[in-house]
Amino acid sequence: MLEYLPHISLVALWQIFVLVVVIPWVLLTKKDATAATAWCLAVLLMPVFGTLLFWVFGYNYIHRLVRRKRRHRLRFREAHPPKNPEAIRGDGQAAKEASDDLGQLALRVRAFPVSHGNAVTLYHDTQNAFDALLASIEQARGHVHLEYFIVRNDDTGCRLINLLARKAREGVEVRFLFDALGSLHLKRRTLQPLVDAGGKVAAFLPVNPVRSLLHFNLRNHRKITVIDGRVGFTGGMNIGDEYLGKNPYYGYWRDGFLRVEGPAAAGLQRVFCEDWDFAADEGLPSETYFPRVESIGAATVQIAESGPDQEMNCIREIYLMAILSARDRLWIASPYFVPDNGILDALRVASYRGVDVRLLSLLRPDHYISYFAGRYFWKDMIDIGAKVYQYRRGMMHSKVMMVDGRWAMVGSANLDNRSLHLNFEVGCALHTPALVADLEAAFLRDLQDATEVTLTTLTGRNVAVRVLENACRLLAPNL
């Protein structure tokens, strides 16, 4: 018995450490009761492995970094107020006319106000979107600002970087912001032509091999391009060959992307400037980068940003309000569907009210844990009367929500906890029925290339798959 005493003592010391240090650590960092309970049980039942899992997936060292992000944002807004506030505030009359008051409700959760007089082009094909992006950059005269989660070293990435380098040599100011973890493999030599030409490059939350490498939260998942403060691009498309359908595994890449020209571009510019100030410590003055932009079209849009530095996550709340406001149809495209309880309950209520709820997701995943966790929730959706589809033609990466033919949002946020609670995201809400009709028509075309998931399909899964789905959904608060 005595020979086991050191081992028993070690186990006892570790249990004390778990109870005195790890459990309070979980309780202090997890506001959501369900997530806190799940992590406490994991740590208690698997003291060593559970603690390691929490350190990797559960604790996102959010407090210090979020406080720093908030300080930067407030400092930037105080030091650089808009030269023409209406470019940020939008048209008050347009806000009043926003469909079903969703524009006004979004204001309450800190979205940018509704902006009228914009010209919006929707892209349902990524090759067309990328070509349009390059063409608009080609027309830049003053500055080009880009912010992307993933940038590859491949032909597509180099094509963009080389164009930016040429524009920089022509005297255009170029600022390029990428997420340090999403673009972890982006090589210095890929960016060197842009740097040599005078362009500025910054990484969002650089990866520290000792601390940050194993932390996957607090990532900048936004996709933004702003040209001369007048033209903006946003959506779900990153920069790389696979996003243009050139990866044989994924095949055709289906994504949502749009171009907005007019006053609403100021909202995307504001998001970029605040992120750039945080990452590069360079404040961009309003008088230079926020020109007065006249009405150029008939589209009414609203930019929304969200992230863990917000007390109330803007895009998540907008999604929730949009779901609850639906009366006729609610169509959603999202590659990863791992909703929190509030979103799931709202979808349930919408379906019980007779709303036509449809979810279009993927067949060929690029993140398997999120994919199998999402499959767990498909049965819940079907049980409440919703329809679930898997896109067969290629990779479904579009993040779009459409409500009653009157409102839609296109952006970077998936309908999962990572996008709605842990990542920095951006979206563009469309209050113009003609644009929503375009999105709905594209959605219906996508359904022709999709297979409906039925209860028969789900009950036919083997035990191993069902166990895998149940195991993956335990990580739902972090997916």
φ and ψ at residue 331, rounded to 5 degrees = -115, 135
Mark whether 221 is an active-site residue: yes
Residues 6+ apart with CB under 8 A from 361: 333, 334, 335, 336, 337, 374, 378, 388, 389, 390, 391, 396
Residues 6+ apart with CB under 8 A from 204: 177, 178, 179, 180, 219, 220, 275, 278, 279, 424
Mark whether 255 is an active-site residue: no
Assign 317 to helix, strand or coil. helix
317-332 as b/e: b if 16+ CB within 10 A: bbbbbbbbbbeeebbb
Catalytic residue among 277, 404, 416, 446: 404
Residues 6+ apart with CB under 8 A from 7: none
* Enclosing H/E stretch for 254: strand 252-254
Mark whether 399 is an active-site residue: yes
Name the pairing type of β-strands 299-306 and 425-430.
Answer: antiparallel
Catalytic residue among 223, 379, 421, 431: 223
Catalytic residue among 167, 221, 379, 421: 221
Mark whether 404 is an active-site residue: yes
Catalytic residue among 145, 167, 228, 255: 228
In Å, what is the CA distance from 423 to each residue of 221, 309, 316, 378, 419?
6, 10, 11, 23, 5
**Residue 226 · residue 145 · CB < 8 Å:** yes
DSSP 112: P
Catalytic residue among 30, 116, 397, 431: 397
Cα separation, 84 vs 254, whole angstroms: 37
Residues 6+ apart with CB under 8 A from 145: 175, 177, 224, 225, 226, 227, 269, 272, 273, 276, 289
Catalytic residue among 116, 167, 379, 399: 399
Question: Could you list the active site residues?
Answer: 221, 223, 228, 397, 399, 404
